[in-house]
Structures are given as C-alpha cells and as structure tokens.
Amino acid sequence: MASIETADTLRANRRFVKTAMQARYLEESEEHELAVRWRADGDEDALHELTTAYMRLVISMASKFRNYGLSHTDLIQEGSVGLMQAAARFDPDRGVRFSTYAAWWIRAAIQDHVLRNWSIVRTGTTSSQKSLFFNLRRLRALIHDVGGAQLSSENRAYVARQLKVSEDDVAVMASRLSGPDRSLNAPLTEDGEGATFQDFLVDGRPSPETEVMLSRDAATRSQWLTAALDRLTPRELQIIQERRLAEDGKTLAALGHDLGISKERVRQIERQALGKLRQALTDDLGDPREAGIVPAEI
C-alpha cells in the first residue's frame, strides 16, 4: 500500500534526498576496503558508509519509475532494500565495482514494487510480460505511436519483434497500460449520481427460474431411471452401476474377475441390460434419447 505523504513527510524526504546526493563518492580502493570489512568482519560502520555513498544511485533509479503513478518515497524505500541486498551478497574479490553490482539489485527491487502496486490486477507474472510492461511505452515513443489503447498491426509486429513476444501479448499489455484501474462502484456520470459500472455487469449464472426448472427436470429424470433400473436382475444392475453410473467405471476385465465370469460375458450382460433399460423407458415415456434421459449411445 502506498504511503500517505503529508507536508512534514515531504519536507523530511527532501532533506533526506538532499543529504544523500551530497554524500561523497568513493574511490575504488575505498569501496573495496569497506566491502571487505563488512563481508569479513561484519563491520556495520563500513556497511553504513558503503550504502550511504550509493543512496544517490537509488534515488536516481527511483526517479526513472515515477511515471507509473507510485510514491517516489516508496520507490526509494524499495530501492534501498535492493541496495542492502546487494551489500549482503557483494563479493569484493570478483573485480566488479559495487555500484555496477548494486544497480541490478536496486532496479529489480523497484520493478518488483511497481508490478505489485501499479494495479490491483497482478501484472508481469512472466519474463515476457515484465519486458513488455517496462519497455512498451519507450518503444511506442520511438515509433511515434503514443496514443490510444491499440497499436496498428505494423507497430504491434515491430514491438513484438523487438521484445521477442507475441503480438497478442503486445495488444493485451497496450490495453492494460492505456488507463488506470477503475472502481466498479464509480458512477457513470460526472455528477456522481445514477448508475455505476457494476450495474452493467452481466451475470452469467442461470436465472432462479432456470435453476428451479433444471433441478426439477433432473429429479424427474432420476425417478424415471430409478424405476427402469428396478426391472434389472441383481447382476445386470451391478454391471450397469459399476460400468455406467460410477464416476470411474470399471473395466470389463475387472468386473469379470469380481463376478467370476469372462469379460465377454460381462459385455453380453451389459448389452442385454441396456436393452432392457431402453425398452422400459420407451414403454413409459417414448424415445428416451429424444427426451434427454439417457445418452445417445445407450
């Protein structure tokens, strides 16, 4: 959740940024010495001096993500977490400057914060979506296509080639980035009165009348089938129940083993039982398949 920036916090943030930007730059030898002291000896003073010197990197990188509508203070805080993670993992003996190594951690922390908080709908769950999210606007600016939710087919193909993603992904992300989240309770008119967006949502569920009708029809069909099943012999009923009515129907071989008969005999009894069911339902109701009582294959 974004922090609420009051006048006092804004002044405090400005002082913090000003102080951070005035911190002196570290020479490579100084940076290496501080990193060694922190890594080898757990010297917290060395850690503080090292991270303080590179808070300007956090602030600079956080400023590049301000156009996503998130608090600059929150972006700096998240970047600071990335800076601390970099300090915890930095190996001074690998011959890489700390600023180069830390930049990746800072950017990753800020990007993750943006993806989590830019919208209430989760965005950027895959690497291709993240690439689209953070590069689509830049590429649209390069090809002078910065308006509207949709790109032309030519520009959509260009972006897809540049970012190695599908054109469908480009279209979806362009639509997502075209506007902010909108509350379903927001009114449709500027005066705030009248209908809201949720009033026009379509309910895909059956109506209460339809649900009652379907329930009664199902109960009636169940009664018809139960009456027809009563005309079967015990062995026929067992085969139909375990072959046709069970969720995981048994095989002919398994039923033959249970009943002490061959699977071919089970097949014959099953066919005979299905014939009895069909005849019983036909005698009482007409063609059961047309009535939807039994599947067409019975």
Query: Quick one: tokens of 254?
Result: 């398994």
**pLDDT for position 284:** 75
CB-based contact 55:23 (threshold 8 Å): yes
Amino acid at 50: L
**pLDDT for position 1:** 47
**pLDDT for position 156:** 81
pLDDT tens-digit map of 18-43: 888 888 888 888 988 999 999 888 88
**pLDDT for position 82:** 94
Of 37, 38, 113, 35, residue with least CA distance to 81: 113
**pLDDT for position 93:** 86
**pLDDT for position 292:** 53
**pLDDT for position 109:** 92
Q: What is the DSSP string of 52-93?
A: HHTHHHHHHHHHTTGGGS--HHHHHHHHHHHHHHHHHH--GG
CB-based contact 92:36 (threshold 8 Å): yes
Q: How far is CA 196 from each of CA 182, 184, 185, rounded to the nearest angstrom?
A: 11, 7, 5
Ranges of the chain whose pLDDT falls below 70: 1-5, 119-125, 146-149, 178-184, 186, 188, 190-192, 194, 197, 286-298
Dist CA 272 CA 283 (whole Å): 17
The strand pairing partners of 196, in sequence order, are 187
**pLDDT for position 87:** 92
Q: How far is CA 60 from each of CA 25, 57, 100, 163, 262, rounded to the nearest angstrom?
A: 15, 5, 14, 25, 80
pLDDT tens-digit map of 135-158: 777 787 787 776 666 777 888 888
**pLDDT for position 72:** 86
Percent of the chain with pLDDT over 70: 84
**pLDDT for position 121:** 61
Place of tokens 């991270």: 51
pLDDT tens-digit map of 197-221: 677 777 778 888 888 888 888 888 8
Query: Quick one: tokens of 109?
Result: 């922390």
Residues 6+ apart with CB under 8 A from 178: 148, 149
pLDDT tens-digit map of 118-127: 765 666 567 7
**pLDDT for position 110:** 92
**Half-sphere exposure of residue 225, counting CA atoms within 13 Å on the CB side?**
19
Amino acid at 100: T
Dist CA 195 CA 188 (whole Å): 6
Overall pTM > 0.75: no
| DSSP code, position 175 | H
Other Cβ atoms less than 10 A from the Cβ of 170: the count is: 26
Measured in whole angstroms, the distance separating CA 81 from the mean position of its chain's CA atoms is 25
Produce one character per residue of 270-285: b if its CB has 16 or more CB atoms within 10 Å, e if not. Answer: beebbebbbebbeeee
**pLDDT for position 106:** 94
How many residues in the chain? 298
